[in-house]
Amino acid sequence: MMDDLSLVMPEVVLCGFGLLLLLIEAFLGEKSKSLLGILTLIAASSALFFVLRLSRLNGEAFFGLYSLDPLASLIKGLILVILVLITVASIRYVERENAIAGEYYPLLIFSTLGMMIMVSTTNLLTIFIGVELMSISVYVLCGMFRENVRSAEASLKYFLLGAFASAFLVYGISLLYGSTGSLDIRAYSEAISAGNYSSVLMLGVALITVGFAFKIALVPFHMWTPDVYEGAPTSVTAFMAAGVKTAAFVTFLRIFYTAFLPVIKDWGGVLWLIAVITMSYANLTALVQENIKRMLAYSSIAHAGYILVAFVTGERSLSSSIIYYLFAYAFMNIGAFTCVMLMERKGEENLDIDSYAGLSGKHPLLSLCLSIFLLSLTGVPPLAGFMAKFYVFSTAIKAGYVWLAIIGVLNSVVAAYYYLRVIMYMYFKEPVKEIGEIDLSSPYFLVVFICIFFLLYLGIFPRDLTLLAEGAVSVFF
Amino acid sequence: MAEIVFKWIVFFIASILSIFSSVMMVTRKNPVHSALWLVVTFISLAVLYFLLNATFIAISQVIVYAGAIMMLFLFVIMLIHLEKGPEEIGKMTVSRIFAVVLTVLLFVEILVGVYFYRAWTVKPEPMPFGDPKTVGKLLYTKYLFPFEIASVLLLVGIIGAVVLAKRRKM
Is A438 within a domain?
yes
Is A227 within a domain?
no
Res B170: pLDDT: 47
Contact across the interface for A100 and B153, Cβ inside 8 Å: no
Is A305 within a domain?
yes
Res B147: pLDDT: 93
- Which residue in chain A has the smallest CA separation from B165? A144
Cβ-Cβ contacts under 8 Å, B149 against chain A: 114, 117, 126, 129-130, 133
Chain A interface includes B81 (CB < 8 A): no
Contact across the interface for B159 and A140, Cβ inside 8 Å: yes
Res A381: pLDDT: 85
> Which is higher by pLDDT, A280 or A475?
A280
Contact across the interface for B156 and A133, Cβ inside 8 Å: yes
Cβ-Cβ contacts under 8 Å, A147 against chain B: 167, 170
Instruction: Say if residue B85's pLDDT is above 70.
Output: no
Instruction: Say if residue B90's pLDDT is above 70.
Output: no
Instruction: Say if residue A135's pLDDT is above 90.
Output: yes
pLDDT (tens digit per residue) in B139-153: 898 899 999 999 999
**Averaged pLDDT, A168-187:** 91
DSSP state of B133: H
Is A98 within a domain?
no
Please tell me which of the candidates A8, A63, A140 has its beta carbon nearest to residue B163. A140
**Averaged pLDDT, B67-81:** 84
Cβ-Cβ contacts under 8 Å, B160 against chain A: 107, 136-137, 139-140
- Which residue in chain A has the smallest CA separation from B168? A147
The residue segments making up the domain with residue A419 are: 260-477
Contact across the interface for B167 and A144, Cβ inside 8 Å: yes
Interface probe with A: pick from B72, B138, B141, B153, most Cβ of A within 10 Å: B153
Nearest C-alpha of chain B: how many angstroms from A66? Answer: 8
> Which is higher by pLDDT, A333 or A199?
A333
**Averaged pLDDT, A40-45:** 94
Chain A interface includes B137 (CB < 8 A): no
Contact across the interface for B156 and A140, Cβ inside 8 Å: yes
Is A430 within a domain?
yes
Q: How confident is the model at residue A277 (pLDDT cuts 50, 70, 90)?
A: very high
Contact across the interface for B145 and A144, Cβ inside 8 Å: no
Instruction: Say if residue A291's pLDDT is above 70.
Output: yes
Is A333 within a domain?
yes
Nearest C-alpha of chain B: how many angstroms from A206? Answer: 24
Res A433: pLDDT: 74
Instruction: Say if residue A147's pLDDT is above 90.
Output: no
Contact across the interface for B170 and A133, Cβ inside 8 Å: no
**Number of separate domains in chain A:** 1
Res A348: pLDDT: 59
* pLDDT averaged over every residue in chain A: 89
Res B127: pLDDT: 67
Contact across the interface for B160 and A137, Cβ inside 8 Å: yes
Is A102 within a domain?
no
- CB-count exposure of residue A197 (10 Å: 0-12, 13-18, 19+): exposed
Contact across the interface for A147 and B160, Cβ inside 8 Å: no
Instruction: Say if residue B134's pLDDT is above 50.
Output: yes
Contact across the interface for B153 and A133, Cβ inside 8 Å: yes
Nearest C-alpha of chain A: how many angstroms from B154? Answer: 9
Cβ-Cβ contacts under 8 Å, A114 against chain B: 149, 153
Instruction: Say if residue B27's pLDDT is above 90.
Output: no
Instruction: Say if residue B84's pLDDT is above 80.
Output: no
Instruction: Say if residue B92's pLDDT is above 80.
Output: no
Is A43 within a domain?
no
Most confident of A5-9, A101-105, A418-422, B116-120: A418-422
Among the ranges given (A80-94, A138-152, B26-40, B57-71), the one the predictor scored with the smallest mean pLDDT: A138-152
How would CATH label the architecture of B2-84+91-130?
A: Up-down Bundle (1.20)
